[in-house]
Amino acid sequence: MNLDFSVIPAYLDVVLLGAVWTIAITVAAALLSFVGGIILAVIALYAPLVVRLPFRLFAWLFMGTPLLLQLFLIYFGLVQIGIDLPAFVAGVVGLGLHFAVYNSELIQTSILAVDRGQMEAARTLGLSRGQALRKVVVPQAVRDVIPPIGNNMIALLKDSALVSVIGVSELTLSAQLAIGRTYRPFEFYLLAAVVYYVINLGMEAVQRRIERRIAAAR
């Protein structure tokens, strides 16, 4: 075996900086996917048909095409129509919209599972349909889908490595830069895997804490 882990300390700052960018893009894309998922779910269930159909086409496109292709389209394709997004922003938008569609499917199912009496009771108390959705139905639905949405966020973390192809210096690309200088792929890919795993453990801990707080509030 010709392994040399002594090369790691000299490039550890490069890899850790990449990890910071990975966390940043994951958090930003997760927030976008969460809020976007709620908006898409409400539109899919309650918007007029003329509004609903374009969003259904949007969801179909994002669910039926690879995430890598979507990132290329957003970063390289939009430039042709005058929209020039920085690589980081393009990565956040691509990841966020991709997972917003999947979160939307979960939230739609959960909204439909909420007892219709909740809406009727809210309307009886004088709330409009929009207010009833915002204050009564959607919060209950979102609370019930936190575990599967949390799983989607962990998948988002793993897929964030794809933004390296559009030039975002996240963890994978940072490891590749170190490899290009040292020609030690095993050592740095292993280091990247360990860092991803640590971030993943942190996300799982946050998810469990949120689930416990929701369970205690019921």
Q: Give the pLDDT confidence of 161-202 residue by residue, as tens digits.
A: 999 999 898 999 999 999 999 999 999 999 999 999 999 999
User: Does the reported pTM lie above 0.85?
Assistant: yes
Q: How many CB atoms lie within 10 A of CB 131?
A: 13
pLDDT at 216: 75
Distance, in Å, from the CA atom of 51 to the CA atom of 130, rounded to the nearest integer, reads 16
Distance, in Å, from the CA atom of 192 to the CA atom of 187, rounded to the nearest integer, reads 9
Section 151-161 average pLDDT: 94
Using pLDDT thresholds of 50, 70 and 90, give the confidence band for residue 111: very high
Give the structural domain span for 45: 5-217
Mind listing the pLDDT tens digit for each residue in 57-97? 888 889 999 999 999 999 999 999 999 999 999 999 999 99
Residue 211 three-state SS: helix
Give the CATH number for residue 190: 1.10.3720.10
Distance, in Å, from the CA atom of 101 to the CA atom of 61, rounded to the nearest integer, reads 10
CA distances from 199 to 48, 163, 191 (A): 41, 17, 13
- CB 5 within 8 Å of CB 187: yes
pLDDT at 203: 93
Distance, in Å, from the CA atom of 83 to the CA atom of 80, rounded to the nearest integer, reads 7
CA distances from 127 to 113, 121, 139 (A): 20, 9, 15
Distance, in Å, from the CA atom of 57 to the CA atom of 201, rounded to the nearest integer, reads 36
How many Å separate Cα 43 from the centre of its chain? Answer: 20
pLDDT at 218 over 70: no
Count of structural domains, the chain: 1
Q: Which two tokens stand for residue 180?
A: 């290009």
pLDDT at 127: 82
Using pLDDT thresholds of 50, 70 and 90, give the confidence band for residue 1: low
Q: Which spans in the chain are helix H? A: 8-46, 49-64, 67-72, 87-113, 116-124, 129-132, 138-144, 146-159, 171-182, 185-217
Mind listing the pLDDT tens digit for each residue in 38-67? 999 999 998 888 988 888 888 888 999 999
Supply angle C-alpha 41, 151, 20, rounded to 5.
Answer: 105
pLDDT at 77: 95
